[in-house]
Amino acid sequence: MQTLKVPYDTFSDEWFKKIEKIVLGDYKFNEEQKKFIHYCESAVIKAGPGSGKTTALAAKVALLLKKIEVEGSLTGVCVITHTNSAVDEILKVLKKLGYKDIPHPHFIGTVNEFFNKYGMLPFLKRANKGLVDIYFSEEKILKKYFRNELAKKHPWFRATGQSYIQNSNGVIERLINSHLYFDTDGKLNTETFQHGSFDKYKDDYLFSKKESWKKGLFHVNDTFSLAQKYFKFDSVKRRLQGRFKYLLMDEFQDVSPLALQLLKKVFLLEGNIFQMIGDSNQHIAYSNPEVSTKGFKTYYLNQTNRFGDSIATVLNKMFQDNLKPTESKKSLQPILLLYKDPKKLSDCFKLILNQKDIMMANEHTAMLVAARSHAQILGGKINKTNKQKLESTFQKAKNEIYRLLAEETKFNIQSIKRELQREYASYDLKINKTLIEYYRGTANHTLIRDSINLFLNVFGSNSKINKTNGLFRILEELKEVESISPTKISDKNSMKTIHDLKGQTLKANMVYLYKNSREEHGFLKSYTSLLEPPRYYNDINKRVVFVAMSRATTFLAVALHVDTYDSLTEEAQMKLKEDFIVQRDSKILKEHTSKSI
């Protein structure tokens, strides 16, 4: 970590080496990572792609828990992440150290889980005596509800014409995903950072939102605004400050601005250590503004183990990040592929991979697009990511549970689903939670069995299941299919959106830049200042391209329309040729045809 002087004495050398061995095997943490692990002051840790920040964070958490345990302290460690995958990585390390459960007073979970547990839920319990649990409605249910409510005053929301449906869907999408907050007068308000109609319907939506809360309809985005009400109590802030001395937040750039504002008010003070780890250059959530890091010192994790100099050079040009690849990491020279017909890009990419002796495989190579509609332009369709496959596995498991409950209660499956989503929502939440923990490897059959039996009991059924029930064999088979599924070798290019692939890596990828798109402009900004920005362009479009290019470990290709390239100045073209091998699709296809004859 640059300019950071840290004595390696926060943790004992014996324990550091032991955890380093558990986390990395025969490898070692680099100097920047070691400094971050030992560093215990409030700061922003700006970690570039491939810097190993989550792995280093997992080691840091393990060492803090051990230090607190040895000292017999009641100090708590709070780890907040943006994704479940980061939670899983940290829990995996702790499990190897013998932590089957996270002991009190510590917390490790997503930002929504934190604010649900310590903000929204206690606030609702205080405001609504007797409330046991909360339930987040599916987005399609909420969209239907708010469509009906808005149609009472704006009848066009019920119109069935294609353009009306498209426009109303856009309005409802922006309203539901807007940022709720309570203003200084305690009045509920909201704002959006997306383009399109919004203000005209905002007040009606806010009225309907408050009514929906009374009916028990909650959206995941409601968490932070309701937690805001609870965090206004000084006693609540003091309790959290006293419980958690250490607050470590991963992927800070993707956190809701209100969530960060609340955390800063509680934890950014003397006596607490608040570290935000992430990279503002990888913030690509269109609905979220860039978060402010004002009030924090900033240090850098620049050494990357993901790619070599040739890819790092292109990325550094975009944001002057000074990414430094390890000496042992090598990448091939990137190619700028100039295309005329986007439908021929897939064949070109396949030929290039063959030339580079890179095996095409669904999880190793992909063509990345900024929007799902771009896949159709390329003549293909979006492939599911590992995350989507896991969600699919979870849903299959949940359907098996629904089927079992229907058999045991003599109700049909749809009735069971409806009851769990309405009158028995807290039990549905418990079943979901235990099922997620089961697929994470932090829970066994017993917890699932107990959750199901608890529901059967309150539902009035005399039935009970035991661990020999056929359900658990099916759940285990689903888990095995997910874990042993081999990488598929393919003769077709995998296509994925950049947002779906964030946080993952590929051996080789092609980034498709749609002609005259905002992403195309973001890419070219690093090579020329003479281009007029397209409508609605902002730096998030540039960051989307940065994230896409930083997924590659060995080989990167960027597809740019030939007309765009030919319209650039000679100086801009020369700058591109310094970083890329420039090739035209027509030449690649022609050479292949001549070889085949």
- 271 labelled binding-site residue: no
E strands, 236-290, where? 244-250, 273-278
Distance CA 438, CA 474 (A): 13
CB 23 within 8 A of CB 54: no
- 567 labelled binding-site residue: no
Tell me which residue has tokens 């249910």: 141
303-304/324-325 β-pairing: parallel
CB 192 within 8 A of CB 179: yes
- 47 labelled binding-site residue: yes
Q: Interior CA angle at 358 toward 356 and 361, to 5°?
A: 150
Q: Exposure pattern of 316-354 as b/e (b: 16+ CB <10 Å)?
A: bebbebebbbeeebebbebbbbbbeebebbbebbbbbbe
Angle between helices 386-409 and 425-440 (to 10 degrees): 130
Tell me which residue has tokens 């629904």: 402
- The rounded radius of gyration (Å) of the Cα atoms in the chain is 26
179-182/188-191 β-pairing: antiparallel
CB 550 within 8 A of CB 306: yes
- 48 labelled binding-site residue: yes
- 52 labelled binding-site residue: yes
- 342 labelled binding-site residue: no
- 58 labelled binding-site residue: no
- 54 labelled binding-site residue: yes
Tell me which residue has tokens 């950049």: 498
Torsion angle (degrees, nearest 10) of CA 25, 29, 30, 32:
160
CB 505 within 8 A of CB 551: yes
3 state DSSP class of 582: strand
Alpha helices in 422-554 (DSSP H): 425-440, 445-458, 470-484, 498-501, 518-524, 539-549
E strands, 347-414, where? 365-369
Annotated binding site: 47-54
Annotated binding site for ATP: 47-54
